[in-house]
Chains A and B, each alone.
Chain A
């Protein structure tokens, strides 16, 4: 039994190392392209296609005003930009907040009964006549140059959707600081997946599409409560090109407490697993390129391997703590420990610690590149410390629930 566990651990570590190495090779291949993008994208934009931004809202009274203002504040010709807000049956004062923009020439307001985010988006899509259309969740805000950094990508007629870089808006709690770092890593990952033509999410905050995509492939589906993930997979399945503009920054309000974070992540993981099942024919299918051959299988297996590695680490620490407790109960505190009694013999020098260290070093390199990509410079902030100290211990919580709910076909809640 112990041999099988060790073998699983070796396999999990090999896969995660392989993935990290693969991403870093990709980075080395495209780093010049990234530098050029950072320098030139968004400058001297010559063509301004018409754009509609849909803002679906459900009980977003605290943030929706700021969200709409951030869109109105975009550095983009006013006559080329319009906003459709859709209230999806809010029970708070969201409608009152929306009515403040009633007379604004760029804003239109739609009201409907609650039916889920995808229904709100589809209602708005019926009214869209612009060249490009995007969505901005009502808890997110855009940088004024975000659209200018996205639109030039559409000069390439084969590109059907462009995703932005998402950052955490004004972190305050420990978990928000932790997510800020996690999102930086996400920025690196998205940019690499973009180069691999393997993006599998067109995130709710400010992914922009050619409007014809929805005419050709249909509107949003429920997508197991992750309509943005389902839409991206549908695009990929139909060989529609999605790219990422890492310089287009969007800020989102990250969950403050553990409960909200847990619910959000359960929904994301559950959504990924169930959409992956729906789009299973893409797995290991060369027709779909890197996303089919490698990215979807590795993203799925990484859920299980992370669960296994994290559980092993938690279990290992737990049994060490129990041993220390037993020792304390038996003989009390051992005050004799000092640096002079330190013996290297008792440091674990097995294969797994060395592999873990290698994997952590590669992860730190990617984190460094992600922060550099997101912030332009790297500073050692408290978020990095929180991320390294806490993240591994909380991830198993939502992975377990999402896997459990998928296996036993249990429904999960949005909030």
Chain B
């Protein structure tokens, strides 16, 4: 009386739709991870190039180190990794590897940035930011928005974010150098450690170099406009 064949056919078609969804989703995930990997490779190359340039110009003036000396893609790379962290299909072993590489690249970039500030005597324009993914940290989420907004406002500001609990020796070393407590979020600005939430205004007050960055950005914009007019 019951046409069992219909159930089998319906089941087979449903299984095909399901498998296709899994297959397509996997392709996209691989593509996204590949995207992150490509950016990481570019950043690594940028850092290598900057280090080489820095070594070559050791004896020369700071004027030779122009804009774009440091890699500009670390910020967008970080955003992609934060997004991927919350997506089940992307949160794989591959992702862990990419995250590890990202933190190491950040540290390398940070060291280069430090050498640059020491050599050229400029005011430091970087923030080390420690957050947590292990515990619920609402303030981490909020300060993340603040730092993203600041980075958008001051493109030369470098924010290095680190997952406090990530199993990476270099992060542990940073934590012990700056004696960062687990009371997150934590920001390290000009050698000082700040815990908890800070608004954009408060951070602008705390980091005077930000204002200079703004001035620099404006001047650059003005000169670009005038040169366009001259052309």
Give residues in A with beta carbon < 8 Å to B. 2, 6, 14, 17-18, 21-22, 25-26, 29, 286, 289-290, 293-294, 323, 326-327, 330-331, 334, 336, 345-346, 348-351, 353-355, 358
Contact = CB atoms under 8 A, between A and B. Distances in A.
B56 interface: no
Main secondary structure of the interface of A (DSSP, over half): helix
Given A17-B17, A336-B152, A351-B21, A331 B10 contact: no
Interface stretch (B42-50, B58-66, B81-89): B81-89
Contacts of A293: 2
26 contacts: A17-B18, A18-B10, A18-B11, A21-B10, A21-B14, A21-B17, A22-B10, A26-B6, A29-B6, A293-B2, A294-B7, A323-B141, A326-B138, A326-B141, A327-B145, A330-B145, A331-B146, A331-B148, A331-B149, A334-B149, A336-B152, A345-B32, A345-B35, A345-B83, A349-B29, A350-B87
Interface in B1-31: 1-2, 6-7, 9-11, 13-14, 17-18, 20-22, 24-25, 28-29
Given A21-B10, A334-B149, 11 more contacts: A2-B88, A14-B14, A18-B10, A21-B14, A25-B13, A26-B6, A293-B2, A349-B28, A351-B21, A351-B89, A355-B17
A355 B18 contact: yes
Nearest to B80: A345
Given A14-B18, A354-B24, A354-B25, A349 B88 contact: no
A349 B142 contact: no
A280 B50 CA distance: 74
A5 B14 CA distance: 21
A350 B32 CA distance: 11
A21, A286, A348 pick with most chain B CB within 10 angstroms: A21
Contacts of B20: 354
Contact of A351 (B25, B32, B148): B25
B142 A330 contact: yes
Contacts of A294: 7
Contacts of B219: none
